[in-house]
Amino acid sequence: MTGVSLFPFAEYWWFYGAFALFILGTLALDLGIFHRRAHKISAREAIAWTAVWTALALVFAGLLYVYCLWKFPLDPRLSGLPGVEDRCLAWRITMEFLTGFLIEKALALDNLFVFVAIFQFFAIPATYQHRVLFFGLLGALVFRVIFIALGAVLLQYKVLVVVFGVLLAGTGVKIFFAPMKPINPEANLLIRVLRGILPVTPQLDGQNFFHSLAGRWHATPLLVALVFIEVSDILFAADSVPAIFAVTREPLVVFASNVFAILGMRVLYSLLVGVVSKFSLLKYALGSILVLVGLKMAWLNEAFGGTFPISWSLAIIGVILATFLVLSLMPRGRKRIKVKLPTSAL
């Protein structure tokens, strides 16, 4: 990781603009054509869309490698060293993108438990869940841009890098020992504020977020669920964005890996919602990953001369995920997670 950005915003503003238009275009196709009519996402459809979003991320990684190979033919820090090939920097940047993508995907799996609880709490039918997650994604993209911009500024200071690293590692350790607690949206301050501003009806009105009763607009359970999902994503981003900055200081790489990872989370939710309760040991994988990225920020990067080998990071994270997922499916690890929910949500 270099102290000076390889992709300064003043020079690459066009990329951010073009990338934003590309994302908006794909989302418009998603909601306007492929999911224009509300329906329950089948396993086959979820697998197909998961493959599409993953393929797009891999295509972007390939294009990023080719571009960096052309733009930065040799890492200036490695020039003059024997055996150094011109592909060093291009490979490193591409691996940083893929590692950030994997970290974001792994940490986002924890949000699946939250989504399940929210939709159960507000009694949102599977037919309309994709629509709620779609608009939740739009809000998530906006907040990620804000968090990434703040991180790019704050993490220029070494002491803050160490502080964030310690906090992430501490969060990871806490996950190991913290018991699973029931999720209660009623206790959320923002939900109570929303109900103070706008009357809420327990009645669904198809896929609409608002419903007119006696000449007055009321929020439907879809809107309340959407607000809570946005709040949970803000809290989630407080961990996930600094975690990706542990492997790269390039805001462009952080932004791209974040976007590609969360673009596929809606269909991944549809694919895993039926089996997510079987992964009882997943929290230990997430805790381990947070400890790893926290140590990278606070100590390992410095100990390895400025950058902990990115290929090692990718391999370790992959092994951690695979290990705990397999252990979860073994008879001794297969304990279902029960989320206690109130009998009445609204």
DSSP string, 135-204: HHHHHHHHHHHHHHHHHHHHTTSHHHHHHHHHHHHHHHHHHHHPPP----GGG-HHHHHHHHHS-B-S--
Where the chain has pLDDT below 50, the residues are 1-2, 76-86, 334, 336-346
Distances (CA, A) of 27 to 150, 214, 263, 312, 325: 26, 35, 9, 34, 30
Is 220 contained in some domain?
Answer: yes
Is 270 contained in some domain?
Answer: yes
Cβ contacts of 37 within 8 Å, gap of 6 or more? none
Structure tokens at 33: 């054509």
Q: What is the amino acid identity at position 26?
A: T
- Separation of alpha carbons 47 and 52, rounded Å: 9
**Structural domain harbouring 300:** 42-333
Is 166 contained in some domain?
Answer: yes
- pLDDT tens track for 120-172: 778 888 888 888 888 888 888 888 888 888 888 888 888 888 888 888 888 88
Is 31 contained in some domain?
Answer: no
Number of structural domains the chain divides into: 1
Q: In the prediction, which pLDDT does 331 show?
A: 66
- Separation of alpha carbons 250 and 256, rounded Å: 10
Is 159 contained in some domain?
Answer: yes
Q: In the prediction, which pLDDT does 15 show?
A: 92
Is 221 contained in some domain?
Answer: yes
CA 160 to the chain's CA centroid: 22
Is 232 contained in some domain?
Answer: yes
Is 18 contained in some domain?
Answer: no
- pLDDT tens track for 96-109: 999 999 888 888 77
Structure tokens at 216: 């007055």
- Separation of alpha carbons 274 and 278, rounded Å: 9
**φ and ψ at residue 212, rounded to 5 degrees:** -90, 125
